[in-house]
Structure 1
Amino acid sequence: RMFGVGCVYGRNDDRRFGFFCHSALEFILQNEFSPHIIHCHDWSSAPVAWLYKEHYSQSRMASTRVVFTIHNLEFGAHYIGKAMTYCDKATTVSPTYSRDVAGHGAIAPHREKFYGILNGIDPDIWDPYTDNFIPVPYTCENVVEGKRAAKRALQQKFGLQQTDVPIVGIITRLTAQKGIHLIKHAIHRTLESNGQVVLLGSAPDHRIQGDFCRLADALHGVYHGRVKLVLTYDEPLSHLIYAGSDFIIVPSIFEPCGLTQLVAMRYGSIPIVRKTGGLYDTVFDVDNDKDRARSLGLEPNGFSFDGADSNGVDYA
């Protein structure tokens, strides 16, 4: 009755997730496990940190340590702050984001135990050599052939002109965090430059979803055969877009880590990103970041821009 409410979030969350966290700890105790580390994430499993200290730290689990990871400080800051107080160590998903949020009221008192560790992607799920959702498997050895086949399949799937022009892919949740105004500008900029655009994404806010539905109708009419907006969540399709696009743009206003740019690079698509959070830590501009890349033993690998305005997108 508590969990069959038709949604994951948004209904009695405090009670439901608190109960879940307490149940998980009790399960560990009753089954006589003695974990070295319990790793909890964001506001929804934050209660583990204080429930452990209040109810289980004197049990057979006394040697267990609690690590708390923040993926996005935008949600549940009160719970995050309380978990920061009780956990033994805290991390977030990139070094730059850890500096970006270090002054936040939930984190500042606990900075001595707070670390930024760069996130990663699952290399088995995101592997163009074993990917069942793309037409030709590829590695860096045959990337040109593999991406050419994926691009053709992508154009065919969406009725795009079968021409050898750059495809800009956009794969995102359509929220303010992701830079909606910059996404729209990038679409228009690409089309005016005779490129093609494929967007895959949906908005939790029905007003934003409606706005993009209207934009899709307008663009599909004016630029028929050169643009496709798919306004839903579809992970299999995202694989084909990653493989078939030449560029993937991620113009986030803030981004704790960002996985989109990492998957793009795994599939040989060039990321175009705003310099924020983990985007800054993973994408090194071909013109301006040579020294920063070299200091980390890396090569420049994309294009980046600073401002949160259309000029930045145009520049990149």
Structure 2
Amino acid sequence: MASPFVGYREMASEDISLKVLHVATEMAPLVKVGGLGDVVGSLPKALKKLGADVRLLLPAYPNLLEELQSRQSAKPIGKLYIALNWRVYEASVYEFDFNGIPVYLLDQPELYSDSVYPQRLDCASVLPFALLSMASLELPNLIDWTPQLIHAHDWPTALIPILLRWHRHYSKLSHSHKAILTIHNLAHQGILPKEILPSIGLADEAFSIDGVEFYGSVNLLKGGIIAADAVTTVSPRYSWEIQTPSFGMGLDGVIESQKHKLHGILNGLDYEYWNPATDQFLPAIYSKDDLSGKEKCSRALSERCGFDDGRPIAAFVGRLVEQKGIDILLAALNELVKMGFSLVVLGSGHENFEMALEEAAAKLKKGLSVHIGYFEELAHLIYAGSDMLLMPSLFEPCGLSQLIAMRYGTVPVARAVGGLADTIIDADGNPEGYGFLFSNPSPDELLKCAERAIAAWSEEERWRKIILRGMSADFSWDRSAKAYAELYHQLLGSQ
């Protein structure tokens, strides 16, 4: 398998002298909707270990701010005044320490609620993201610290490189910062009416084919890709896939034209948090040197789900949306149970998928256990107690579930797409393999792959070796952080 880090040499751990501001709408475990939160919660910590001066800017969601203030963790440091939508917004800034990293919270009660993303994006509901982006450029005036690089995440902060290129005022700061944009999921692009442009202060030339214009509308992600100094994706294969019509979501031509600054850097996993040897959520801990605790977790999961003993447990943990291949899984449920699997599903998403899964559970009874929502303790038990993890994704920019599963000795059965193809080696195709892959997004292909997996499971010694190879694979943030640090240095011309 090609290395997910091709093009990046190893760097000395004490070599970094960087000032980087990450700007995002999520940061696990404080605020998490999806994988973006996991990255923003882990990457800065890994960069700090390399010696970088890393800081973060997040919205001050009311529930988060109240919790921090109740613990006297967040202290007010001043106010910012930002011209937006034909008025001046006053926003308070709070600072708190998170694992040794300064985190700034932008408080504007008029714009920030407990909801991270609006149900509908329009000229009004985009204002919280515009304010956050502008605040990243105003923040140095308040804290006497100027980042060399501003790292934006997905469409909500893609406006940062756009501001530095085309804003009537902030474009004057373009010499002060390099802007990096990470695409976590190209499916979400921030598409708005053209009428938004004057209210966010963009010059007329921004609305062009070489700017934010997209079929007569404004596309924030498109503009960010064009304006950024570098663009990264969360796996190498995804960086190639999004240059094709099949995965480009209408932006494949734009991305292909910008491929000179496109870098695929694989996401890592927080090995301190996701560690079966120390996991306090589990009924028994274990490691690759002693797997007996995993057997106890499997029994606990079976009891919780009402499964019969002796059947392999296959799990799905994630969002119940089309991207994750839920329709493929639904079509295969009956046959998977007939094949000998006990199935457990944990997640939430589209109402139709939730209802279909609950109806299937009522029919399959002990063969399928469905849990709608997300429950942290149950998620950990599922990762630890299952034998296999099913990921029939239509596309997968990186995927963290398969990394967690392998860390916990649970073997992934997944579609060979995006980050899944970058991180899983098929055990039938390679003696060093630790998972099972299929290519075509169909129920039949998933069933054939699951059949290969259950055949391997029936060979006890072979299965144990597959488990141990997966647990021994290194997908920590250490290597990924070095790749980001080198990219930062390249942009600054210091490498």
TM-score calculated relative to the size of structure 2: 0.58
Listed as ranges, the gaps of 5+ residues in structure 2 are: 1-109, 191-218, 245-251, 450-495
> Post-superposition shift, 1:5?
7.0
Equivalent in the alignment of 2:363 = 218
Q: Deviations over 1:19-39 (max 9, x none)?
A: 121123212333221112211
Q: Deviations over 1:33-89 (max 9, x none)?
A: 111221111101111112234444645x84421111001100116211100111111
Which of 275, 282, 286 lines up with 1:138 in the alignment?
286
User: Partner letter of residue 179 of structure 1?
Assistant: G
Contact 1:84–1:110 under 8 Å retained in 2: yes
User: Partner letter of residue 129 of structure 2?
Assistant: F
Equivalent in the alignment of 2:343 = 197
User: Partner letter of residue 142 of structure 1?
Assistant: D
Equivalent in the alignment of 1:254 = 395
Q: Which moved more, 1:246-255 or 1:1-10?
A: 1-10
Q: Equivalent residue of 2:428, what SS?
A: coil
Equivalent in the alignment of 1:295 = none
Q: Which moved more, 1:234-243 or 1:2-11?
A: 2-11
Aligned residues: 300
Structure-2 separation of matches of 1:91 and 1:207: 34
Structure-2 separation of matches of 1:146 and 1:42: 39
User: Partner letter of residue 304 of structure 1?
Assistant: L
Structure-1 separation of matches of 2:357 and 2:259: 40
1:3 aligns with 2:148: no
Which of 212, 216, 227 lines up with 2:368 in the alignment?
227
1:229–1:5: structure 2 CA closer, same or farther, 3 Å change rule? closer
Equivalent in the alignment of 1:127 = 275
Structure-2 separation of matches of 1:73 and 1:6: 21
Q: Deviations over 1:215-237 (max 9, x none)?
A: 232222xxxx3321111112221
Contact 2:164–2:172 under 8 Å retained in 1: no
1:69–1:6: structure 2 CA closer, same or farther, 3 Å change rule? closer
> Post-superposition shift, 1:94?
0.8
Equivalent in the alignment of 1:16 = 128
> Post-superposition shift, 1:7?
5.5
Structure-2 separation of matches of 1:99 and 1:47: 24
Q: Equivalent residue of 2:437, what SS?
A: strand
Q: Which has the higher strand share?
A: 2
Structure-1 separation of matches of 2:140 and 2:329: 45
Equivalent in the alignment of 1:304 = 437
Structure-2 separation of matches of 1:165 and 1:207: 29
Q: Equivalent residue of 1:243, what SS?
A: helix
Structure-1 separation of matches of 2:254 and 2:278: 42
Q: Equivalent residue of 1:168, what SS?
A: strand
Which of 189, 195, 205 lines up with 1:76 in the alignment?
189
1:154 aligns with 2:287: no
Structure-2 separation of matches of 1:98 and 1:247: 27
Q: Deviations over 1:265-314 (max 9, x none)?
A: 00000000001111111111112245xxxxxxxx3110001111122112
Structure-2 separation of matches of 1:301 and 1:91: 27
Structure-2 separation of matches of 1:79 and 1:17: 11
Structure-1 separation of matches of 2:254 and 2:222: 4
Structure-1 separation of matches of 2:243 and 2:134: 29
Contact 1:255–1:279 under 8 Å retained in 2: yes
Q: Which moved more, 1:252-261 or 1:1-10?
A: 1-10
Structure-2 separation of matches of 1:66 and 1:49: 6
User: Partner letter of residue 264 of structure 1?
Assistant: A
Listed as ranges, the gaps of 5+ residues in structure 1 are: 291-298
Contact 1:147–1:243 under 8 Å retained in 2: yes
User: Partner letter of residue 300 of structure 1?
Assistant: G
Q: Percent identity?
A: 35
Q: Which has the larger radius of gyration?
A: 2
Structure-1 separation of matches of 2:254 and 2:321: 23
1:66 aligns with 2:186: no
Q: Which moved more, 1:205-214 or 1:235-244?
A: 205-214
Root-mean-square deviation over aligned CA pairs: 1.9
